[in-house]
Structure 1
């Protein structure tokens, strides 16, 4: 006997319940105890099969309960009734498959067998570990307050395609972040598919501490946080469209709990939303031992795609060991694909004792051409020089190897020592380039200046192209070697 949602029914809400055994009331009862994430699934008749997934424990009028007496938060928000609900008990694995497929609107019936197959499919081909298209520079929205919507809109207009926020009202405004996103989509600047949006669940957030009775478990906190994030960051103005299609590219756990058991409980709760309403997971403000302990637990079925920490000298010498762990994951677990990314914040503010004073940063900033047109000219020179070398080699082979091969590099600005003259790019942009292009760190950029938004993206692209030219490569390699020595990376 398989557990099924009846045709025309959709998930209304869910609530943690005591431990249950899968199919304990059937003749083919499973002997496997499901200790982590059992849920009570509440379904209701729904003509359009819209689904709500959210946690118990938010303030509700007494009348807003279903026939089992369980509050239904989103139903209250949407002014819908919960009469006639049926209650079923199942496991977190079943919820992950049934609820998210219903939310996605792809199937009206899902069996427990397909849920197990989804959870246990091999890593690498597993949809729980997708290759996320993450920009190398992400716009950070912390501390923007009532300017958040305008700044998010402006950042997208200037070219940012990644946005970072959090369900933490003390430092972020997730609601205004969503407003800026929707405005940019309405104006035709970008589509939702072109954006990478990440938000955070914050343990011990003020909302949970203020009313602990409303959030009795870590799981209930996670579910409430994710529910509000999906609502705040929905890319469509229509509530119906929000319920059907809203999703988050990455949900980051803002920090681990003091004890690893609580961290694991929160992580496994977050796993239940992957891969549909949440595409991937990450964790922030974590040390390497804490991370290794988490991912070593067999109950962790979704590996983090984001490790987000402060990138500065005071944080374990620019967090070198954690960055090396990410690189090892990509080379071994993901067979060379960059599916585990290290994100750095405080990249400028946390390094004010380094980037303004290091000679190699100034030399790089002075050597980079001031305009894209200059870079294009250097690229053309490099292409011509490469063609000349190939021609000389071909002629040398025809003459028995006696040709006069070109072995040097054309002279150019990249070969010159730079002084204190006018810079091609700012010192900040040079530090960003070394961090992103050299150390492979995805940087959070929280500038409030429209000009800096534009310049930071333009300079990064210009450096990336320039360093591949014959003139730029020599200077880049030298500066990068000095940068690696500073931040603790091994030499090439």
Structure 2
């Protein structure tokens, strides 16, 4: 999914879709309903985790199985990108978690992965065909050595039950350590995109160099100043979209996959339509688009906003 094109938003062909992945955190009992709506509205990538504290992974699986049945081939397991996570005990509710926190690390991971494969199985009555497109370490473990140990355990599932591996909430030194000490290289990084991390400029450069997709979360809530910035304002005025959609488009143009966890059907429609509207405008106003993109990129790199 990574690209070196000068304008990522304009680089793809006619079948281009906005670079969104549907985030299922904090949806609670509405998870099943919202995942079904999201896929029906156009999302083809879904993010979850084996972390009952914040995610209802089993309900994600229920929603997807219903869609595979109900859509008569329109939505199948093969055209859904599905990723989940192993979350360490530090990120779990110790009274409600998918493994025994006192168990050895390998047992924790294998129990967590087994629960995810069961929850996300495409067929109701068997887990034989179950797999995930990517499994992320939800965060690095307490030491780099433990993080690499966990990574190597996950490598044993490639390519049958897990297609690719990734990591969330990671710094560049730890990402480099994983890359240098792994057989299966990272395919995905999922981090907060906000000024406190200087927008991960160096880390994203490493990702681009090594064909690692960068996924952003807190894209809106972590960036109140970017939402009011001049590049966003120029797009709002030129295209007639909301500030959130304008910011999404500018972030996507940096080669970033955006986690979008909206619970509003209206916003689902508006987000997809708005990004496509910006793309159409940009195709017809290449000079203005490149000016806006240039200012945005400079402002992010300076972290002065």
TM-score, normalized by length of structure 2?
0.88
Q: Does 1:288 align with 2:172?
A: yes
Cα RMSD, aligned residues only: 1.9
* SS of 1:238 mapped into structure 2: coil
Corresponding residue number in structure 1 for 2:249: 433
Q: 2:52–2:96: 8 Å Cα contact kept in structure 1?
A: no
- CA deviations on 1:184-208 (whole Å, 9 max, x unpaired) are 1111141111100000000124366
Corresponding residue number in structure 1 for 2:146: 262
Write 1 or 2 for the structure with the bigger share of helix: 2
C-alpha distance 135-176 of structure 1, shift in aligned 2 (>3 A): farther
Q: 1:367–1:475: 8 Å Cα contact kept in structure 2?
A: no
Corresponding residue number in structure 1 for 2:163: 279
Equivalent residue for 1:169, pick from 37, 52, 67: 52
Q: Structure 1 residue 353: deviation in Å?
A: 2.3
Q: Structure 1 residue 210: deviation in Å?
A: 7.9
- CA deviations on 1:130-189 (whole Å, 9 max, x unpaired) are xxxx97210000000000000000000000000000000101000111111111111114
Q: Does 1:216 align with 2:103?
A: yes
Residues in 1 aligned to 2:100 and 2:51: alpha-carbon distance in whole angstroms? 19
Corresponding residue number in structure 2 for 1:349: 221
Q: Structure 1 residue 225: deviation in Å?
A: 0.5
Residues in 1 aligned to 2:149 and 2:224: alpha-carbon distance in whole angstroms? 38
Corresponding residue number in structure 1 for 2:296: 483
Residues in 2 aligned to 1:451 and 1:214: alpha-carbon distance in whole angstroms? 41
* SS of 2:231 mapped into structure 1: helix
Equivalent residue for 1:359, pick from 211, 226, 230: 230
Residues in 2 aligned to 1:210 and 1:156: alpha-carbon distance in whole angstroms? 28
Q: Structure 1 residue 303: deviation in Å?
A: 0.5
C-alpha distance 354-175 of structure 1, shift in aligned 2 (>3 A): same
Residues in 1 aligned to 2:67 and 2:281: alpha-carbon distance in whole angstroms? 31
Q: Structure 1 residue 209: deviation in Å?
A: 8.3
Q: 1:165–1:172: 8 Å Cα contact kept in structure 2?
A: yes
Corresponding residue number in structure 1 for 2:88: 203
Residues in 2 aligned to 1:483 and 1:135: alpha-carbon distance in whole angstroms? 19
C-alpha distance 209-187 of structure 1, shift in aligned 2 (>3 A): closer
Corresponding residue number in structure 2 for 1:302: 184
- If asked which structure has higher relative contact order (CA below 8 Å, sep 6+), I would say 2
Q: Which runs of 5+ in 1 are unaligned?
A: 1-133, 331-339, 369-423
Q: 1:429–1:460: 8 Å Cα contact kept in structure 2?
A: yes
* SS of 1:324 mapped into structure 2: helix
Q: Does 1:320 align with 2:201?
A: yes
Alignment of 1:126-205 (within 5 A): 136-188=19-71, 189-204=74-89, 205=91
Q: Structure 1 residue 461: deviation in Å?
A: 2.0
Q: Structure 1 residue 358: deviation in Å?
A: 1.0
Residues in 1 aligned to 2:101 and 2:300: alpha-carbon distance in whole angstroms? 45
* SS of 2:139 mapped into structure 1: coil
Corresponding residue number in structure 2 for 1:237: 124
Corresponding residue number in structure 2 for 1:130: none
C-alpha distance 265-427 of structure 1, shift in aligned 2 (>3 A): same
